[in-house]
Amino acid sequence: MADQRALDEVVRFTSDLIRIDTTNRGGGDCRERPAAEYAAARLAEAGLEPTLLERTKGRTNVVARIEGTDPSADALLVHGHLDVVPAEAADWSVHPFSGEVRDGVVWGRGAVDMKNMDAMILAVVRDWARNGVRPRRDMVIAFTADEEASAEDGSGFLADKHAALFEGCTEGIGESGAFTFHDGGGREIYPIAAGERGTAWLRLTARGRAGHGSKVNGENAVTRLAAAITRIGAYEWPLRLTPTVRAALSELAALYGIRTGLDDVDALLDKLGPAAELVEATVRNSANPTMLDAGYKINVIPGEAVAFVDGRYLPGGEDEFRATLDRLTGPDVEWEYHHREVALQAPVDSRTYARMRAAVEEFASEGHVVPYCMSGGTDAKQFSRLGITGYGFAPLKLPEGFDYQALFHGVDERVPVEALHFGVRVLDRFLRTA
């Protein structure tokens, strides 16, 4: 089991990494290198030989390999990203890049997304070095840039240009999984991610006849775009259950003693109460209009209007998504992918999933582990290009009332010290037995 020094280090590393401002504003406006150098130095102190890699100056990734005891075993990728989303200091109770530790809580941007997991990985690796521990499988450790934008400078770059560093990796673990979900009725649920919806960020363009704002215009680009956006926003996507979501619903129904079958999903979700939150965003595709851009003067009808839509599709659901968007946009509006990434699905009957479940249950015996599909996406999408099956496993034991999901990209992001200690213990146990 991880020693006391590892528990102390995970808190210090989380705080130190938060203090390194790696805000990713998109469009290349980020510099992860100081955080990458910090992580690389901690790995080097543990006897590893980390490699620093950049596609763009300052957008730095770190990769290192730990040799396992069984050369015939497939390797496991353990990854976390170094960048964070922006934070407006005036909105926070503490400065978002202070890394302050107060009343048993570490505060700052990245505390849950995901410098906490980066720190857990570093603490476990260093604990192994001190105690002479080697895993069964080779472990490839990767800290990436640019996850909060396109990943072109991060996992996408690594997968496309440095695939050899991940030789032998068949599975990987990353963010968003094995955290405590309190259902309000005394149960603690630990969802482990075994799937992700695909990313379909769309650009819609309507063209029409430019003219004077005082004239009748039946070819108004703004009107055409508004009509399409309204149809998209109002559309009710049909239910589609993937194997991961079916497994999640079945296990939750069993946990609550609900006999409603999967042929009436809406009724089942109603009976699950707060626990429905774990699956309700992943039982269908979605498309949410988010940005509009048209015109330059109030009395001028523009010849073009543009909108952006955040679309997400289930594994196996992209063809339906595309056909539906063709229908909803209609003949007067064109759409194209602004950014696209694949949907993912991982088996929940695998040895690796079983080992993750066992590790959580060892340190949270009162907890109930269930699989779930993430509504968004992670670096696992890019690493899937290398044939790596991805799971979300960044364990945290959280107190009741701690709204973990709301802190992702939210104000006053923070993580309890005890949650970090739990994470190190669980991660250590899983990686030793994986």
Q: What is the DSSP string of 179-227?
A: B-EE-SSS-EEEEEEEEEPEEEEEEEEEE---EETTS--TT-HHHHHHH
Q: For residue 331, count CB atoms less than 10 angstroms from its CB and return exposed for 0-12, middle for 13-18, buried for 19 or more.
A: exposed
Query: Which DSSP symbol is given to 49?
Result: -
Measured between alpha carbons, how far is residue 149 from residues 28, 88, 130, 405 in Å?
Answer: 9, 18, 36, 19
Among 3.40.50.10090, 1.10.10.10, 3.30.70.360, 2.70.150.10, name the CATH number for the domain at 198-341. 3.30.70.360
Query: Which DSSP symbol is given to 396?
Result: B
Asked if 193 and 375 count as a contact pair (C-beta separation under 8 A), the reply is: no
Helices (H), 64-135: 115-131
CA dihedral 405, 410, 415, 416 (to 10 degrees): -80
Q: What is the DSSP string of 5-24?
A: HHHHHHHHHHHHHHHS--B-
Instruction: Give me the catalytic one of 32, 138, 146, 147.
Output: 147
For residue 213, the Cα-to-chain-centroid distance in whole angstroms is: 45
Domain ranges of the chain: 4-176+378-433, 198-341
Asked if 73 and 137 count as a contact pair (C-beta separation under 8 A), the reply is: yes
Residues 6+ apart with CB under 8 A from 252: 189, 258, 272, 275, 278, 279, 370
Element (H, E) at 248: helix 243-256
Q: What is the pTM of this model?
A: 0.95
What is the structure's pLDDT at 405?
85
Q: How many CB atoms lie within 10 A of CB 266?
A: 12
What is the structure's pLDDT at 5?
97
49 catalytic? Reply is no
What is the structure's pLDDT at 411?
97
Element (H, E) at 250: helix 243-256
Asked if 164 and 157 count as a contact pair (C-beta separation under 8 A), the reply is: no
Pairing label, strands 51-54, 304-313: unpaired
What is the structure's pLDDT at 261?
83
What is the structure's pLDDT at 193?
98
Q: What is the DSSP string of 311-344?
A: EEE-TT-HHHHHHHHHHHH-TTEEEEEEEEE--E
Residues 6+ apart with CB under 8 A from 43: 50, 62, 64, 122, 125, 141
Instruction: Give me the catalytic one of 83, 127, 146, 428.
Output: 83
251 catalytic? Reply is no
Among 3.40.50.720, 3.40.630.10, 1.10.150.120, 3.10.129.10, name the CATH number for the domain at 4-176+378-433. 3.40.630.10
Pairing label, strands 169-174, 75-81: parallel
In angstroms, rounded to a whole number, what is the distance separating the alpha carbons of residues 303 and 299?
13
What is the structure's pLDDT at 132?
97
pLDDT along the chain (434 residues), means of 10: 94 98 96 98 98 98 98 97 98 98 97 98 98 97 97 97 98 97 96 97 97 97 98 98 97 94 92 96 97 97 98 97 98 96 97 98 97 96 98 97 90 98 98 96
Asked if 383 and 420 count as a contact pair (C-beta separation under 8 A), the reply is: no
